[in-house]
Amino acid sequence: MKISTIPLICLFLLRPSFLSVQAQDHYLDAEEHAREGLWDSEIATIRMYREGWPMSYPIMRLRGDVPLILEFDDLAEDRSGFQYRIFHCNADWTLSDISEQEYLEGYPENNLPGGTPSFNTYTSYLHYELSIPNEDLKPLISGNYLLIVYQDYDPQKVVLARRFMVTENSVSIDAKAGVPVLSRFQACCQEIDFTVRHQGLLFNDPYSECHATILQNGVWDMAVEDLPPYQVNPEELIYDYQEENVFPGGNEFRFFDTKNTRTPTYYVRHIDYIAPFFHFELKADQLKPAHVYLSSEDINGRYAIEAEGGQDPGLDADYVFVHFTLEMPNPLEGEVFLAGALTNWQFSEQNRMRWDASRRAYTLSLLLKQGVYNYRYLFLPQASSKFDVGEIEGSFFETENEYLILFYHRSPSDRYDKLLGHQIVHSNN
């Protein structure tokens, strides 16, 4: 059972997603878990969401719901197109032991619809969109799914992978995110308690058949997984742990805005044009106070694509270089990573900050599409697999975070894990 516990110094276990563009196993890790990933440096701005809600989770109802949209940009100029395939997965993201005919209606492998060229941008790219379900395929059962996109009709040439979920919406979940019960967690952490109400559904052995997953701000590598009920009552399951469901609160995300290429806006120091890209140098960041919480609004690590004066952000937002600087007196004994949806929440070499001794600062430059972005810095101590949430950003119970709860069921006669429901809850909202 994978259940994270959070010590007082607010470290969290990361099932390491140090993915390189040459990842040998592509979308399966060493333990055969299907992972999200990006394996092509020319692919950018990958998002999957409910149609019309770009900041939503990629969750659709099994019957009668709005479709999911996968979108991304291809900055390469010499590709003929892409193909895609969908796999059904268990609750722990290992591949399900069922045939494609059992979980899909239609063709298992299909061509991705052709890309649309960017318009009036300095950087040319093709913008791709895929809707699920579509005329070629439709998921037939609930649960976890992995979508892979590849090229040259060769599934070994995977360029990206994204997770999504299909829910039966047959249970209701009442949840709250608050101050932990245990005193050692109360200053830095948050506790997620919830009740699953399953009127009309029979679970013979809820402790072994029913499991929940909790995500903070949509980050899979920080998730609490395989959580059984704490208490079983008639037609309801209580998840009221005191330690297993505790998360470090972290701090509000940092923020910058690249919509305007003429005038520096929020947290932008200056803008240069060095053909063929605009360059945004952000104001230098510092360590946040370790013992003082300062409230600020954020979008919980996400980003919104937008270009000032544009009509269609998918096609007329440009790609610009953003230069990050984190000042501190001396380098830390470990590594510093830039984190957020802007890095796909992956901790790769491309997202590792470099120490610049002459500037007494960590620096990094990324090519990003114009918009409004959240980000934070995470510290990985030497010889450790646990990121320190509080070392750079601080960690507080007052922080506003978003939690996603997923509830799975699998009876002894079932051959796959069903996703019966989900709920979203905010802390200190």
Same domain, 187 and 328: no
Domain's final residue, options 101, 135, 167: 167
Query: Up-side HSE of residue 189: CA atoms within 13 Å toward CB?
Result: 24
Q: Which carries the bigger pLDDT value, residue 429 or residue 376? A: 376
Same domain, 72 and 33: yes
Domain's final residue, options 137, 167, 197: 167
Q: Looking at the domain assignment, is residue 376 inside a domain?
A: yes
Report pTM.
0.93
CATH of the domain at 84: 2.60.40
Q: Looking at the domain assignment, is residue 139 inside a domain?
A: yes
Summarize pLDDT for 220-246 with one digit per residue, the tens: 998 999 999 999 999 999 999 999 999
CA separation for the pair 237, 405 (Å, rounded): 14
Same domain, 115 and 147: yes
Among residues of the chain, what percentage have pLDDT more than 90?
86
Q: Looking at the domain assignment, is residue 7 inside a domain?
A: no
Q: Looking at the domain assignment, is residue 5 inside a domain?
A: no
**Strand 59-61 vs strand 158-167: parallel, antiparallel, or unpaired?**
parallel
pLDDT score of 20 more than 70: no
Among residues of the chain, what percentage have pLDDT more than 70?
94
Same domain, 261 and 369: yes
pLDDT score of 287 more than 70: yes
CA separation for the pair 4, 148 (Å, rounded): 28
Summarize pLDDT for 41-78 with one digit per residue, the tens: 999 999 999 999 999 999 999 987 799 999 999 999 78
Same domain, 303 and 279: yes
Same domain, 264 and 383: yes
Domain that holds residue 242: 172-249+400-426
Q: Looking at the domain assignment, is residue 120 inside a domain?
A: yes
- DSSP code per residue over 92-132: TSBBPSS-HHHHEEE-SEEEPPPPEE--S-SS--EEEEEEE
pLDDT score of 428 more than 90: no
CA separation for the pair 256, 376 (Å, rounded): 11
Total domains in the fold of the chain: 3
Same domain, 52 and 116: yes
* Confidence class for position 3, pLDDT limits 50, 70, 90: very low
- Name 127's Cβ contacts closer than 8 Å, sequence gap at least 6: 71, 72, 73, 115, 116, 117, 118, 314, 315
Amino acid at 19: L
Same domain, 388 and 258: yes
pLDDT score of 7 more than 60: no
Q: Looking at the domain assignment, is residue 10 inside a domain?
A: no
CA separation for the pair 117, 154 (Å, rounded): 24
Same domain, 222 and 149: no
What local confidence, expressed as pLDDT, does residue 11 receive? 55
Count of CB atoms within 10 A of residue 357's CB? Answer: 8
Q: Looking at the domain assignment, is residue 3 inside a domain?
A: no
Same domain, 150 and 201: no
Domain's final residue, options 100, 135, 167: 167
Amino acid at 166: V
Q: Which helix (H) or strand (E) holds 313?
A: helix 313-316
Same domain, 319 and 187: no
Q: Is the peptide bond before 7 cis (omega within 30 degrees of 0)?
A: no
Q: Looking at the domain assignment, is residue 105 inside a domain?
A: yes
Same domain, 185 and 230: yes
